[in-house]
Amino acid sequence: MFSRPRQLETEEELYDVAVRALMRRAHSVHEMKQKLERRSNNKLLVQVVMARLKENGMVDDRAVRQAVCSGSAPKDAARKVPRGPRPPRSRRPGPAYRGGAGRSGEGNRMRRDGAPTDRAEAAGVSRGDR
Protein backbone atom coordinates (compact mmCIF):
# COMPACT_ATOMS: atom_id res chain seq x y z
CA MET A 1 0.00 0.00 0.00
CA PHE A 2 2.50 2.62 1.13
CA SER A 3 6.11 2.60 0.07
CA ARG A 4 8.75 2.14 2.72
CA PRO A 5 10.29 5.44 3.88
CA ARG A 6 13.71 6.32 2.57
CA GLN A 7 16.40 4.72 4.70
CA LEU A 8 18.66 7.28 6.35
CA GLU A 9 22.37 6.72 6.78
CA THR A 10 23.69 9.66 8.82
CA GLU A 11 23.14 10.73 12.39
CA GLU A 12 22.12 14.24 11.36
CA GLU A 13 19.41 13.04 8.99
CA LEU A 14 17.98 10.70 11.61
CA TYR A 15 18.15 13.38 14.30
CA ASP A 16 16.29 15.82 12.02
CA VAL A 17 13.54 13.23 11.50
CA ALA A 18 13.21 12.85 15.27
CA VAL A 19 13.05 16.60 15.88
CA ARG A 20 10.37 17.05 13.21
CA ALA A 21 8.32 14.27 14.78
CA LEU A 22 8.68 15.90 18.21
CA MET A 23 7.51 19.22 16.80
CA ARG A 24 4.20 17.59 15.90
CA ARG A 25 3.65 15.97 19.30
CA ALA A 26 5.53 14.51 22.27
CA HIS A 27 6.70 10.92 21.87
CA SER A 28 7.65 8.36 24.49
CA VAL A 29 11.05 6.70 24.32
CA HIS A 30 9.49 3.55 22.90
CA GLU A 31 7.53 5.41 20.20
CA MET A 32 10.56 7.41 19.12
CA LYS A 33 12.76 4.33 18.98
CA GLN A 34 10.22 2.56 16.76
CA LYS A 35 9.97 5.59 14.49
CA LEU A 36 13.74 5.82 14.10
CA GLU A 37 14.13 2.07 13.53
CA ARG A 38 11.69 2.32 10.63
CA ARG A 39 13.87 5.02 9.08
CA SER A 40 17.26 3.33 9.56
CA ASN A 41 18.53 -0.24 9.51
CA ASN A 42 21.57 0.76 11.58
CA LYS A 43 20.72 -0.09 15.22
CA LEU A 44 23.83 1.66 16.53
CA LEU A 45 22.83 4.87 14.77
CA VAL A 46 19.38 4.69 16.35
CA GLN A 47 20.94 4.24 19.80
CA VAL A 48 23.22 7.25 19.28
CA VAL A 49 20.33 9.48 18.20
CA MET A 50 18.18 8.28 21.10
CA ALA A 51 20.98 9.07 23.56
CA ARG A 52 21.34 12.54 22.03
CA LEU A 53 17.59 13.17 22.33
CA LYS A 54 17.60 12.05 25.97
CA GLU A 55 20.62 14.26 26.79
CA ASN A 56 18.85 17.27 25.33
CA GLY A 57 15.69 16.44 27.29
CA MET A 58 13.61 16.08 24.14
CA VAL A 59 12.35 12.57 24.88
CA ASP A 60 11.00 11.99 28.37
CA ASP A 61 8.46 9.32 29.31
CA ARG A 62 7.50 11.06 32.55
CA ALA A 63 6.61 14.32 30.81
CA VAL A 64 4.59 12.48 28.14
CA ARG A 65 2.74 10.47 30.81
CA GLN A 66 1.91 13.58 32.83
CA ALA A 67 0.69 15.45 29.77
CA VAL A 68 -1.53 12.59 28.62
CA CYS A 69 -2.93 11.83 32.09
CA SER A 70 -3.71 15.46 32.85
CA GLY A 71 -5.52 15.80 29.55
CA SER A 72 -3.43 18.75 28.42
CA ALA A 73 -1.98 16.88 25.46
CA PRO A 74 -4.24 15.34 22.84
CA LYS A 75 -3.49 11.82 21.67
CA ASP A 76 -3.30 13.15 18.13
CA ALA A 77 -2.57 16.70 17.11
CA ALA A 78 -5.48 16.59 14.67
CA ARG A 79 -7.95 16.45 17.56
CA LYS A 80 -6.92 19.84 18.85
CA VAL A 81 -8.07 21.80 15.83
CA PRO A 82 -9.50 25.15 16.92
CA ARG A 83 -13.10 25.56 15.87
CA GLY A 84 -15.11 28.67 15.30
CA PRO A 85 -18.67 29.22 16.44
CA ARG A 86 -20.98 26.31 15.81
CA PRO A 87 -23.47 26.63 12.97
CA PRO A 88 -27.08 27.23 14.01
CA ARG A 89 -29.23 24.17 14.55
CA SER A 90 -31.91 23.31 12.07
CA ARG A 91 -35.30 24.81 12.88
CA ARG A 92 -37.17 21.99 11.17
CA PRO A 93 -39.85 20.62 13.51
CA GLY A 94 -39.51 17.06 14.74
CA PRO A 95 -42.05 14.23 14.57
CA ALA A 96 -43.82 15.25 17.78
CA TYR A 97 -44.62 18.66 16.28
CA ARG A 98 -45.99 17.10 13.08
CA GLY A 99 -48.38 14.82 14.91
CA GLY A 100 -46.00 12.16 16.17
CA ALA A 101 -46.80 9.53 13.55
CA GLY A 102 -43.70 9.48 11.42
CA ARG A 103 -42.46 11.69 8.66
CA SER A 104 -45.49 11.65 6.40
CA GLY A 105 -47.91 12.92 9.05
CA GLU A 106 -50.11 9.82 9.01
CA GLY A 107 -51.37 10.61 12.49
CA ASN A 108 -52.86 13.92 11.42
CA ARG A 109 -54.42 12.36 8.35
CA MET A 110 -55.96 9.60 10.42
CA ARG A 111 -57.54 12.09 12.81
CA ARG A 112 -58.95 14.17 9.95
CA ASP A 113 -60.42 11.07 8.35
CA GLY A 114 -62.14 10.06 11.58
CA ALA A 115 -60.02 6.93 11.98
CA PRO A 116 -59.09 5.86 15.52
CA THR A 117 -55.91 7.48 16.82
CA ASP A 118 -54.88 4.85 19.37
CA ARG A 119 -55.49 1.20 20.26
CA ALA A 120 -58.21 1.92 22.81
CA GLU A 121 -60.30 3.79 20.28
CA ALA A 122 -59.72 1.06 17.72
CA ALA A 123 -61.02 -1.51 20.24
CA GLY A 124 -64.11 0.60 20.85
CA VAL A 125 -63.31 1.67 24.42
CA SER A 126 -64.36 5.25 25.14
CA ARG A 127 -62.23 7.68 27.12
CA GLY A 128 -64.48 7.46 30.16
CA ASP A 129 -64.08 3.66 30.42
CA ARG A 130 -60.25 3.74 30.57
Is the Cβ–Cβ distance between 19 and 50 less than 8 Å?
no
DSSP conformation class of 127: G
pLDDT tens, 12-68?
999 999 999 999 888 999 999 999 999 999 999 999 999 999 999 899 888 888 877
pLDDT tens, 74-118?
555 445 555 667 666 666 665 555 555 555 555 555 555 566 566
Within 1-130, residue ranges assigned H as helices are: 11-24, 29-39, 43-55, 61-70, 106-113, 119-123
Q: What is the pTM of this model?
A: 0.51
